[in-house]
Structure 1
Amino acid sequence: MEINFLRNIGQKIFKEISLVKPQFNRTSLGRGASGDTTFPIDKLVEDRIIEAFEKENIKVNLISEEKGENLVDSSYPTLIVDPIDGSKNAVSGIPFFSTSIAIADGNTLNNLKLGYIINLINGDEFWAIRKDGAFFNGDRIRVNNATSPIIIAFEASSPYKAIKNIIPVFKIANRVRCFGSTALDLAYLSAGALSVFIVPTPSRIFDFSAGILIAKEYGAIVTDIEGNSIENLPVNFDTKTTLLVSTSEILHKKILDLIK
């Protein structure tokens, strides 16, 4: 499987959403496997991704926010999908949401092989291939070690608790942002738009898998908020972790010291 296969899926989804605009249909279709409300846009995109793999007869195990986990054969790669990362943004009319697709060829996060994210508003594409680098709209991207300005983004499922825990970090920030799409936060950090991304409450595997591969291949430092490696976490539906992603080791250490 090549990255262009994932890009083709993403571009078709972008075109369909641009024309049909399913995000404005706020009808609840019940709750997906993650426990979150499934909206028509979530189902549409998940269906398109699965249909693409089935059409090409590509055998995979599946981890998806909506359908959950379908482990068919341990010898197959695992498709990790967040059909719409930023669903609440999408149905609220906030133009910041994405599709995130990752492929793992083993049982832990260090086996992530391909990562792909597309911004479903402007079509920006981000992807990474393990040991072959990260790319933004076709151009290779490499870590920017600039020390200023420091722009920190965060995401949290429990904002009150999360903000209390990371307030000390804000004193070194020139700007702080909370955009509402973990995948795009990681993607734009890898494009040089952010210095640090923090998720102080547990993030789900389908939210971050593509993004952390892109960030790692870009050259960013990726750990949990205690500074522990997440490489050996299992590739399964229930995997969750906090995240701290920084564009330099010096900045990463500074953030860890402030959190502690």
Structure 2
Amino acid sequence: MHPMLNIAVRAARNAGNIIARACEQLDLVVAEQKGANDLVTNIDKEAEQAIIATIQKSYPDHCFVGEEFGVITGENSDYQWIIDPLDGTTNFIKGIPHFAVSIALKVKGKLDQAVIYDPIRGELFTASKGAGAQLNGYRIRSSKAKELKGTVLATGFPFKQKHQMDAYMNIFQALFVHTADIRRAGSAALDLAYVAAGRHDGFWEMGLKPWDIAAGQLICQEAGVLVTDFAGGNNYENSGNIVAGSARVVKEMLKEMRPHLNDALTR
């Protein structure tokens, strides 16, 4: 395992331990509204602090971008860690056991290492640039689906962009009639990890943030998944609109989505 990936795994497990312990006493979790339809808990913040502290022990001069604490600058700006300490906070608050820790590392602006850790199932998805993707140390590959028919897709509702609900529902309907089924589980990081592992044949969501996407993007790409924005380009990190799956599935998804996109969704 790459030394920096090893540290990321250690950080993810430390955060996962905090989250798992908190699951046993959810009545003590303090939740607050940080934005429209956006919750944060004391556990999100504690887990993010644990991640940063673990990484800083080995790399004190690195930079960080975290969902809860924003940007932490370091002397060595070539290394930037992108952290979502608890992706699926609403699930966590409600006691729904589907959420994850997500950590990615960019080196000189390029994704290099990635970890997504599900502390409830004990599933650790990892990837190093050019070295493939793993689940608990075993190589994973994406679905071999060659068409949209018969697929199981994953998605997330635009709960932070409800003004896009009409466009979203039109896209949902256009895709749903061609698939076996569609899942909405509440964690974009795990959705992407599941596409990488072949559990889902494809995924789309709008309005995501860099920390929602970064680790899952690299894990997907290292597992043979095509990742694009809604226009078939590479602007998903900025737009937050992402599609992932095999090349043929993504091609068909984009074809079905295109008639229902507005200008805001194709930027």
With 17-26 and 98-107 compared, the bigger mean Cα shift is at 17-26
With 37-46 and 93-102 compared, the bigger mean Cα shift is at 37-46
Contact 2:63-2:77 within 8 A present in 1 as well: no
Displacement after TM superposition at 1:251 (Å): 1.4
Query: What is the TM-score when the length of structure 2 is the normalising length?
Result: 0.85
- Secondary structure of 2:64's counterpart equals strand
CA–CA distance in 2 between the matches of 1:215 and 1:23?
Answer: 34
Q: 187, 202, 207: which is aligned to 1:202? A: 207
User: Deviations 1:151-182 (Å, cap 9, x if unpaired)?
Assistant: 01101334633223332011111011101100
With 171-180 and 1-10 compared, the bigger mean Cα shift is at 1-10
Asked if 1:56 is matched to 2:61, the reply is: no
2:140 aligned partner, one-letter code? I
Distance 1:101 1:114, change over 3 A: same
Q: How many residues align?
A: 248
Distance 1:169 1:3, change over 3 A: same
- Secondary structure of 2:195's counterpart equals helix
- Secondary structure of 1:163's counterpart equals helix
2:230 aligned partner, one-letter code? I
Matched residue, 1:251 = 249
Distance 1:153 1:251, change over 3 A: same
- Secondary structure of 2:240's counterpart equals strand
1:62 aligned partner, one-letter code? F
CA–CA distance in 2 between the matches of 1:98 and 1:4?
Answer: 18
Structure 1: 5+ residue stretches without partners: 234-238
Compute the RMSD of aligned alpha carbons: 2.3
Residues 1-260 of structure 1 aligned to structure 2 (within 5 Å): 1-21=3-23, 24=26, 25-28=28-31, 31=34, 36-73=38-75, 75-107=77-109, 111-147=110-146, 149-158=150-159, 160-161=165-166, 162-199=168-205, 201-230=206-235, 239-246=238-245, 248-260=246-258
User: Deviations 1:174-232 (Å, cap 9, x if unpaired)?
Assistant: 01110110000000111110001001x2210000100010000100110011211238x
Distance 1:8 1:74, change over 3 A: closer
Distance 1:20 1:94, change over 3 A: closer
Structure 2: 5+ residue stretches without partners: 259-267
Contact 1:154-1:198 within 8 A present in 2 as well: yes
- Secondary structure of 2:31's counterpart equals coil
CA–CA distance in 1 between the matches of 2:103 and 2:85?
Answer: 8
With 14-23 and 62-71 compared, the bigger mean Cα shift is at 14-23
- Secondary structure of 1:222's counterpart equals strand
